[in-house]
Structure 1
């Protein structure tokens, strides 16, 4: 990923925030013939210092479920259009439109598994995590044969992350007055993602 120095982050707490916001990732692999394969999947994320693991599952017929080895997971953050009209120096500096956003690329190696006990544990962990987020309490009942039979329809995976690329493009290459003015304009739109970007921009203003 192209990351100019102004937009490059190394603080993994920023990754924690991104994936807590949206754990529905884009998973990119390459087939044997070189064809890109792309999946869109919810994942459970764990991090202990620099030890990062994503886990989830595919439908068994999904061609990506046969992949092992190198993979890229893309974690999507908020994004918003930036109008040059918001910049105080728009005329003097001949400002042009742009887009502000936050994103993470996680490079690593995939491991797949089909053991029913391991799959049951995975589904249980995923459901507990996401059910809690929506205030519900569905659980995977390990003793229910109807649920256990359905495990045959999925393949589990773990992505052990070897390299993290974080890019937060939040107008850090602009004067502080421009950052503040753009954040105010984004807030004024009343759009949730524009508001998220505005808050992130203010958090990255020079101290």
Structure 2
């Protein structure tokens, strides 16, 4: 990934926070059938290992888990909100007319080694944790015990667990840090005004180039 210094995000807590808030990752593998990409919701255990551990599951019918070998290197891409940035939002554009459009975004690339867990106990725990996390805000959170045990047993047999020991995290936060503060803040306000508040607030909080 092309990474100019002023867009580089190195703080582990910031990278983990993006993954936690945007858990649907694009898992890129290079297995026996060549390159493949799967979109999978991940659970992050930030406290395990030097950079954390990612856990997920895929359908047993998905060839992914059979096309990779234990310990293969993989890449998981996590992306937060992104948006088009109009040069009309920069005050400096109206003075010198020397600005062009761009696109702002925040992404984290997690590089690591994959392990496949074809084990009912492992996937049961994983699904239970994912369910508790994502059902927490519901008025009546669904839990695995709400379904007949034999049905849950059948469903668990149809999935396979994945675990990725993260070896390196690379963050790119393209938030107009290379612009004048007034241009960055004006564009942030324009985004917030059109409903892109997450990215707009991130731009507000971004500092100037290092």
Q: Same fold (TM over 0.5)?
A: yes
Match of 1:9 in 2: 9
Q: Is the alpha carbon distance of 1:71 and 1:148 closer, same or farther for their aligned partners in structure 2, counting shifts above 3 Å?
A: same
Take 2:123 and 2:185, find their aligned partners in 1: how far apart are those partners? 48
The offset of 1:203, in angstroms, is: 0.7
Take 1:58 and 1:145, find their aligned partners in 2: how far apart are those partners? 20
Match of 1:113 in 2: 117
Mapped contact 1:57–1:154 kept (Cα < 8 A): yes
Aligned length: 202
Indicate the RMSD between aligned Cα atoms, in angstroms. Answer: 1.8
* Aligned partner of 2:127 among 123, 129, 145: 123
Q: Is the alpha carbon distance of 1:46 and 1:171 closer, same or farther for their aligned partners in structure 2, counting shifts above 3 Å?
A: same
Match of 2:183 in 1: 178
Residue 18 (structure 1) aligned with residue 23 (structure 2):
no
Residue 57 (structure 1) aligned with residue 57 (structure 2):
yes
Residue 145 (structure 1) aligned with residue 150 (structure 2):
yes
SS state at 2:136 partner:
helix
Q: Normalized against structure 2, the TM-score is what?
A: 0.89
Gapped runs of 5+ residues in structure 1?
none
The offset of 1:20, in angstroms, is: 2.7
Gapped runs of 5+ residues in structure 2?
none
SS state at 1:129 partner:
helix
Cα displacement string for residues 111-133 of structure 1 (whole angstroms, at most 9, x for unaligned residues) = 01111112211111111111114
* Aligned partner of 1:77 among 71, 77, 80: 80
The offset of 1:146, in angstroms, is: 2.3
The offset of 1:31, in angstroms, is: 2.2
Take 2:18 and 2:51, find their aligned partners in 1: how far apart are those partners? 17
Match of 1:157 in 2: 162
Mapped contact 1:59–1:65 kept (Cα < 8 A): no
SS state at 1:78 partner:
coil
Mapped contact 1:120–1:140 kept (Cα < 8 A): no
SS state at 2:176 partner:
coil
Structure-to-structure mapping, 1:34-45, within 5 angstroms: 35-45=34-44
Q: Normalized against structure 1, the TM-score is what?
A: 0.90
Match of 1:86 in 2: 89
